[in-house]
Structures are given as structure tokens and as C-alpha cells.
Chains A and B, each alone.
Chain A
Amino acid sequence: MLRLALKMLFGDTAKFLMLVAGLVFATFLMAQQSAVFCGLMSWTTATLKNVPAPIWVVEARVEQVNETNPLLDTDVARVRSVDSVAWAAPIYSGILRVRLENGNFKIIQLIGIDATSFAGAPVRLKEGRIEDLRLPHAVIIDDLAVKRLASQRGGRVKVGDVFEINDQEARIVGIADTVQSFTGGPYVWTTYERALQYAPAQRKMLSAVIAAPRPGVSVAGCAEDIRRETKLAAFLNQGFQFGADQDFNTSTVWWYVRNTGIPFSFGITVAIGFIVGIAISCQTFYSFVLEHMKHLGALKAMGASTWTLCLMLLTQAFTVGLIGYGIGLFFTARFAFPALENEQPPFYMPEIVPPAVLGVILFICGISALLGIWRVARLEPAMVFRG
């Protein structure tokens, strides 16, 4: 009987395609939009991935990594003096609007790191050497900066080239592979001292202190010691995780969720996917059932139990569900590969997204089937003799 149920479904090509299309649309919208949202959220923590350090110490009121509320210069020493701290180094991190030699203004993400330890240097250098950052006017830029500079001046940009940041010379000594920033500006590394020269002067410039625990001390324990002894905020840098309040990634993401309209607008799109999916699916499936009412009635008269008819409807609904989900996910993947390749638009799909979307799609199908079941259960077998 279930085989026949599927034949009935596939036989009604127009409704079948409509159902599948609705569910493909819903799957794609929900999966793709949540991945773009997660991608955008992961961009907010790009600095934490590009400037690696187990612990970030920031001013006590700071909640997220892109917010700078400077520390006192002496705070580096205060962090160093905490027993469980192995090393601590200053970080300048600022979004600068810089003037290039042709007069154009560009946003960059300037990172100043300690010139002795190079703590906070890029994780992966594609060209050049970190040590060369000690040379005069030396900077390390990322791929994006290379692309932007190249499009600006024409030709290829390579190690050894010179450009200007706010009228001061900047010589490229390395090219780094980075995670794209939330602002869209490229990352530029230089030494802490030189960063202060590039940046417009302010009274206090120390954005953060990065630190690591001594061997044998847990990162969390060390951060706790720093917090207790310096009264500054000390966060771990282990990546976003639900409930991990002590993690800077987590607290940054939540800050954006709370303080921006981003989750709302993505939420709306995901909700539209859900609503359109449920509307198309329920409406089409219900009219499919109504159209087959006469035949379902005949089956009931001929001795098919209500339970058998329900199983038939469930089989039909879940089959279109799985097909629609599969195709929807395929389209999402087609969207994902170029996005991941170009790092534009943001795309990051946590493992939970595909099963969650599948759950929602099956829920939609279940509701659609239920509508039909509700009709079929009330169907009197005697109706079959009436016109």
C-alpha cells in the first residue's frame, strides 16, 4: 500500500513538484540564512582568531573584542606580576581610517604587537618573516590588503613594496592568512610602538594585554587569578560555546546578538522560510488529499483501516520532506563553496544546523500530513456511494 501511496504522490506531478519546491525553498532559506548569520557572528570574533593568545585581559567594562576601552600602560606589568602568568604582552587593536598616498581613505584593522616576543603575531604567514617586523616601517598585511592595494595601484603587491598609512611609510615584510574582520577592513600588523605612531594620538593606547598561564596552571585558573589580582576583565580565547561566559568569543557574539538588529533580521528571514514552507506544504498537501478524497474513501470502503490511510499520508508527506530537504541542502552547498572560497559573504554552518533544519522540515511535513489525516479520519466509508 505504501508503494502505491508513493506512486499516487509521484503521479500527481504538479503537486509533487510544488511540494518539493516549497520545501527546497524553506530548507535553503533556513540553512543558508543561519549559516550566513553564524558566519557574520564568527567575523565579530576575527581578531581573537587572528591574534592568538590563550587569555585576553581588557578593561573591566569591556564585553567584546571590537570595543576598545584602553588600559593603563602599567597594566601589562600588573598582569605579568600575577603568579600563574607565564607571559603577558601589550596589544594595540584599533579600527583606523587611514589615508593612503593617493588620498583615498580606507578602513584597516591595525594590530600592534610586542616587538620582543611577537606575542599576537599572525598564525599563518604566507610570505615573509615575523622577525622582519623589527625593521624600520615594517608591517605585515593580509590577503585582503594585498587585493585592495593591488586594485588601487595596479599590478601585483609583494613583500618589499611600500605604501603609506596616514602619511607615514609602511613597508610590507610579510603577508598573512587571516580570518575576515567584521568591519571588512584588512588586518595590518606592526610593532606596538609603531602602531601608536600610525594611530591618531590618544592619551591611552593599550587596548588589551594578552597572556598565557604557566605550565601546570589551567587557562581558566590563570584568568581567575588575573581577574582577582588586577580587577581587570580576563577572558579565555577558546572559541564560541554556549554557556562559556568566560570566553571572549562567546561574550563577543552574545554582545552582538543583544545589541544589534542582526539576529532579528536574520531571524525574520528564517521565519519567512519556515512560514512559506509550512504554507505551501500544508496548502498543497491538503489539496492533494482533498483531490484524492474519493479514492481514499473507496479504499476505506474496501477495507483499508484509518491507520493504513494515515501511514500512506505520512509516507507521502515525509517523502517529499526528505526530497525537498536534500535538494535544499544541495543548493545551500552550491552557495557555500564559492562563499567559503571568497570569504564573502560570510558563511559558517555549525553542525547543529543541518539536523535542526531537517527537524523543522519534518515538522512542517508532519503538520501537513496531520491536516490530511484529520480529514481522512472523519471520512465515512459510506460516503463512497454518494456522488
Chain B
Amino acid sequence: MPETAPILAARLRNVNKSFGDGGSRLQVLKGVDLDVRCGDITMLVGPSGCGKTTLLSIIAGTLGCDEGSGEVTVFGQDLLGMSRGRTTKFRAQHIGFIFQSFNLIPTLSCVENVSVPLLIQGRPTRHAERRAREVLEQVGLGDRMKHRPGQLSGGQQQRVAIARALVHEPRLIICDEPTAALDAKNGTLVMDLFETVARSPDRAVLIVTHDNRIFPHANRIASMDDGQIVEMHDIDAGHPLPEHLRHGFHA
């Protein structure tokens, strides 16, 4: 059986990023090469401060990289050559976000929070809210539609955030430390749910984390250290999680 090459969600070549200038210049990414494939849940792991969030931001199009970087292509579109306005539109169209601290708007109901990405795209409120209700059902919050985030537990809030990240059916979902604000039990529950609803053959999920408990949810793990990708592991039936990754990272 001939193997078809998996579709690339993101392709990074020789990506450099530094902050500050002159004497206080700090090079955070040092020539990163990375492929993110559709259908995968890719985790970007590594010690705190090694540049995971920075790399994630560059792939999400919320941060530019240094002059002289090689390539940042997301779904075939060259982010390096894109204007700010175009990247903003691109994000609205193709990327779903999940943040560490949920970032739900406290004065809006769950339905309203979840409908935000569709409203940003300019969809009518009726349509957006109908779709938001569907996705809230999917994440098991059908009975919490009208609640405000403050009335929900942390795990429930992150499920609302998952619904928000999925509502516009983006092809790339970006998560930064999605379980860091949750306890072990809720973290696992949320990840189980997330894996069920988010994994899809034509969608890529990229998760930055240093929470080793959720590593088993990945089928690809990229280890970073000091601004570089140092290891790449495909996890499947034949390739279990390597021993040294089971213990996680400590700051």
C-alpha cells in the first residue's frame, strides 16, 4: 500500500526570533525547523523559557520573526510575506485559540463567548449563536448555555474555550498550556474531551505544554530546548512515549 504524504499544516524552516536589541538582545529561537501535520495532535514540550510560546505565536501569526528567517508557511500561505491586516484575517479564518487562563469574557454568556470567532468573521448573530449552541452541546455544556463563565468550574470554562476554538471549524488549533490552570483530574478530562472533538484528518492541533500527564494524548512530540527542536517522536502503537519524557519538565 503506497503511503500518501500527510498534508502539512505548518512548515517552518530556519526560524529565528530575538527580543530586545544591542546589549540586551536575547535570541529565543535559534534556527527552528518544524513540520506540523494535519490529523495529528502535536505537542511542543520543553523546559520553561525555552521558547515554546514564542514559536507557537509565530505559527499562529500573532508574532513576526527575525529578518533572514527561512520559511513560515501555514496551509501553504507564506506568513512572512503577509501584511498585518492579512494575517489578522488569516487568523480569524483558519486558527482556533485555547489559552492557559481561558480568557473568556466574564460579562458574556457561554453562547455569546463561543460565538465570538464567528462574529469576528462577520457572521450574523443568529447564525453564530445557533452554531455556538451546537458546539456547546458537543462539549457537554448543553445545560450551561446562558451561564456566565464565573458561574462555571475551571474545567467547564476550559470546555467553553474549546467550544470557542472549534466553532468556526478552523484547520489549525493552537493551545498554550491548556491544562496549567486545572487540577490533574480536570486536566485529563478536558484533554480526553478535546481529543475527541478536535482531532480530525484535515485539522492540525498544536499544543504547547510542560504538563507530562497529557503527553499520552499526543501522537507527535517535539522537544525543545534553548530555542531549538532537539527531538521529534512519533507516538503510536509501535512507538510508546520515551522514558525520559514520562517525567516531564521542571522549571
Contacts and interface: CB of A to CB of B under 8 A. Distances in A.
A334 interface: no
A303 B95 CA distance: 9
Contacts of A304: 88, 92, 120
Contacts of A385: 53, 56-57, 62, 99-100, 176
A298 B119 CA distance: 14
A301 B91 contact: yes
Interface string B94-136: 0101011101011110001000110111000100000000000
A341 interface: no
A7 interface: yes
Contacts of A305: 85, 88-89
A339 interface: no
Contacts of B103: 294-295, 298, 384
A298 B85 contact: no
Contacts of B85: 305
Contacts of A386: 53
A387 B180 CA distance: 12
Interface in A293-326: 294-295, 298-305, 308
A301 B62 contact: yes
A296 to B, nearest CB: 9
B60 interface: yes
Contacts of B56: 385
A4 interface: yes
Nearest to A11: B107
B93 interface: yes
B53 A298 contact: no
B152 to A, nearest CB: 16
B22 to A, nearest CB: 21
B120 A299 contact: yes
B106 A11 contact: yes
B245 interface: no
A3 B125 contact: yes
B26 interface: no
B93 A303 contact: yes
A153 B116 CA distance: 76
A114 B93 CA distance: 88
Interface residues of A, number: 27
Which of A301, A303, A305: most chain B CB closer than 10 A?
A303
B60 A301 contact: yes
B227 to A, nearest CB: 16
Q: Interface on chain B toward A: helix, strand, loop, or mixed SS?
A: helix
Nearest to A13: B107
B230 interface: no
A382 interface: yes
A382 B63 contact: yes
Interface in A3-61: 3-4, 7-8, 10-12
Contact of B120 (A10, A308, A380): A308
A302 B91 contact: yes
A8 B91 contact: no
Contacts of A382: 57, 62-63
Interface in A264-303: 292, 294-295, 298-303
Nearest to A383: B62
A383 to B, nearest CB: 8
A1 B119 contact: yes
Contact of A303 (B63, B92, B125): B92
Contacts of B92: 302-304
Contacts of A387: 100-101
A381 interface: yes
A386 B63 CA distance: 12
B62 A4 contact: no
B93 A8 contact: no
Contacts of B60: 301
Contacts of A301: 60, 62, 91, 97
A381 B64 CA distance: 11
Most interface-central of B101, B103, B176 (chain A CB within 10 A)? B103
Contacts of A7: 107-108, 112
Interface of B: 53, 56-57, 60, 62-63, 85, 88-93, 95, 97, 99-101, 103, 105-108, 112, 116-117, 119-121, 125, 176
Interface of A: 1, 3-4, 7-8, 10-12, 292, 294-295, 298-305, 308, 380-382, 384-387
List the 5 closest A-B pairs by CB distance, nearest first: A11-B107, A303-B92, A381-B62, A382-B63, A303-B91
Given A300-B88, A303-B95, A387-B101, 13 more contacts: A1-B120, A4-B116, A11-B107, A294-B101, A298-B103, A301-B62, A302-B95, A302-B116, A304-B120, A384-B97, A384-B99, A385-B53, A385-B99
11 contacts: A1-B119, A3-B125, A11-B107, A294-B103, A299-B120, A303-B89, A303-B91, A303-B93, A304-B88, A382-B63, A385-B57
